[in-house]
Amino acid sequence: MRIAVKSLLALASVLLVYMCYRSIMNPIEFDREKDIRDKAVIARLVDVRKAQIAYKETNGVYAANFDELLKFVKEGSIEMISKKGELTDEQLEKGLTEEKALALTEEEAPNYGIENYLEFKENFRRDTIFVNVLEHVFGKGYNVDSMAYVPFLKDTKFEMESNIIKSKSGIEIPLFEARTPFKTYLNGLNRQEIINLSKQAEALNKYPGLKVGDKESPNNNAGNWE
């Protein structure tokens, strides 16, 4: 009987030690894995932001969904200015601007210390060119289709919306937001830790997850991790 009791007490002690160990290690292991996932999700949300900014510069608004956005990145082009030549300090001091330089006449050239007008016009140029979005923004070899999906999860897309609000002065302001909640991108990790994270965020009136941009209020397309 005594041996049985001692065995039970020993087993209970081992179990208690293990429970204490897990109570310490669970949050540590969760935080370690969360950090890995956070970095991957943030990197992809940053790519979404880059693509949306390029889309807006071309179309005046943000893409409403990933189908529109990815098609633009794959097939679209953006306008850029190819620059040749720079104004000298002397020319700048005399009031010559790039705008004036582009419209400069031969009669005006001496006013800015330009002796050879034809040479100046040949070496100071600003030309409009169109470049492929994919290569310019992301570089060759970038997997465009992966942009829509939450890392570490199969076939799970980011939530994304676009919106247009009006300022007090009546100016239309395009907005977009892309996001994924803790319960989605941390799926498979400690369930209670995920619940705790979500409750903490909601108590602070913050989005319970990672997001970039804001569909209701201008925030310069910031991520909520910045």
Show pLDDT as tens, one digit a residue, over the chain (226 residues).
566 555 555 555 555 544 554 555 567 888 999 999 999 999 999 999 999 999 999 999 999 999 999 999 999 988 878 889 999 999 999 899 989 989 999 999 899 999 999 999 999 998 888 889 999 899 888 999 999 999 999 889 999 999 999 988 999 999 999 999 999 999 999 999 999 999 999 999 999 999 999 999 999 999 999 9
**Contact indicator for 114, 120 with CB cutoff of 8 Å:** yes
For the chain, helix (H) and strand (E) counts, in that order, are 8, 5
Cα–Cα separations (whole angstroms), residue 59 to 14, 72, 130: 65, 10, 14
Cα–Cα separations (whole angstroms), residue 3 to 11, 21, 50, 60, 169: 12, 27, 69, 81, 85
Q: Give the total residue count for the chain.
A: 226
Q: Residue 209: its pLDDT value, please?
A: 97
**Cα 217 from Cα 199, distance rounded (Å):** 23
Burial 190-200 (b: 16+ CB within 10 A, else e): eeebbeebbee
Structure tokens at 85: 């030549």
Q: Residue 21: its pLDDT value, please?
A: 42
Q: Residue 23: its pLDDT value, please?
A: 54
Cα–Cα separations (whole angstroms), residue 6 to 9, 17, 20, 119: 5, 16, 21, 100
Structure tokens at 79: 């306008």
